[in-house]
Amino acid sequence: MNLRRLSGLAAVVAAAGLAVASVQAAEACVDDTLPGRLADAPVRLCIEAKTGQPAHYRLWLAGEVRISGDEPAARQGLGGDWYGHPLWLRCTGAGNVRRCDLTVDGEAAWNAELVLPR
């Protein structure tokens, strides 16, 4: 095996490892239960942010992902369904703070504020 080629390959592998290591991800989650007529339904909202990519939102309701999408869509509103009940999640904010509002059947049902770690 050519040692020069091997050292070049090692440099490429090391550079690729460095590139992978430089992609950082941060996740913020909030766990709660829905109030009102949907009381006791567990809700979990997570925002994952990776360097150089739009943040990704996931909302679990009763243990299943019901809404998922990237930040540009979440600012406009993301739709989902829970046993025939239309869900709508809209998130706004700047910097590392996001405020998210959830409606169920067109009525305000829940909201949360999440802070992404820097």
- Each residue of 78-96: pLDDT tens digit? 999 998 999 999 999 988 8
- In this prediction, residues 33-39 reach a mean pLDDT of 81
Q: Which residues of 58-70 are buried (b: 16+ CB within 10 A; e: fewer)?
A: bbbbeeeebbbbe
pLDDT averaged over every residue in the chain: 83
pLDDT over 90 (residue 3)? no
pLDDT over 60 (residue 48)? yes
For every residue of 38-52, DSSP letters joined together read: GTT-EEEEEEEEETT
What pLDDT shows up at residue 40?
81
CB distance 74 to 59 below 8 Å:
no
Top pLDDT among 14 and 92 is at 92
**CA distance to 76, 79, 84, 97, per residue, from 105 (Å):** 18, 11, 9, 27
Top pLDDT among 90 and 50 is at 90
3-state secondary structure of 4: helix
Site of tokens 């706004």: 92
Top pLDDT among 72 and 40 is at 72
What pLDDT shows up at residue 30?
96
